[in-house]
Amino acid sequence: MSVRVGHGFDAHRLVEGRPFVLGGVRIEHDRGPLGHSDADVLAHALCDAILGACALGDLGAHFPDSEAKWKDADSLRLLAACIAMARERGYELGNADCTVVVQAPKIGPHVAAIRARLAATLGVPDDAVSVKAKSSEGMGYTGDGSGIAAYAVATLERRSPR
For residue 143, the model assigns a pLDDT of 95
Tens-digit pLDDT profile for residues 95-142? 999 999 999 999 999 999 999 999 999 999 999 999 999 999 999 999
For residue 67, the model assigns a pLDDT of 81
The domain that contains 22 carries what CATH number?
3.30.1330.50
With a CB cutoff of 8 Å and minimum separation 6, the contacts of 149 are 9, 10, 11, 41, 100, 101, 102, 141, 142
For residue 112, the model assigns a pLDDT of 98
For residue 5, the model assigns a pLDDT of 98
For residue 121, the model assigns a pLDDT of 98
Quote the CA–CA distance of 51 and 55 in Å, as a whole number: 6
How many domains are there within the chain? 1
With a CB cutoff of 8 Å and minimum separation 6, the contacts of 123 are 83, 93
Report the candidate in 9, 32, 7 with the shortest Cα–Cα distance to residue 22: 32
Report the candidate in 91, 22, 15, 13 with the shortest Cα–Cα distance to residue 52: 91
For residue 70, the model assigns a pLDDT of 81
Quote the CA–CA distance of 98 and 42 in Å, as a whole number: 7
Which residues does the chain have with pLDDT short of 70? 160-162
pTM here is 0.95
Check: CB of residue 82 under 8 Å from CB of residue 50: yes
Domain span at 136 = 2-158
Check: CB of residue 96 under 8 Å from CB of residue 118: yes
Quote the CA–CA distance of 29 and 109 in Å, as a whole number: 13
Question: Distance between alpha carbon 117 and the CA centroid of its chain, in Å?
Answer: 11
For residue 68, the model assigns a pLDDT of 80
For residue 133, the model assigns a pLDDT of 97
Cis check: omega of the bond before 33, within 30 degrees of 0: no
For residue 78, the model assigns a pLDDT of 96
For residue 66, the model assigns a pLDDT of 86
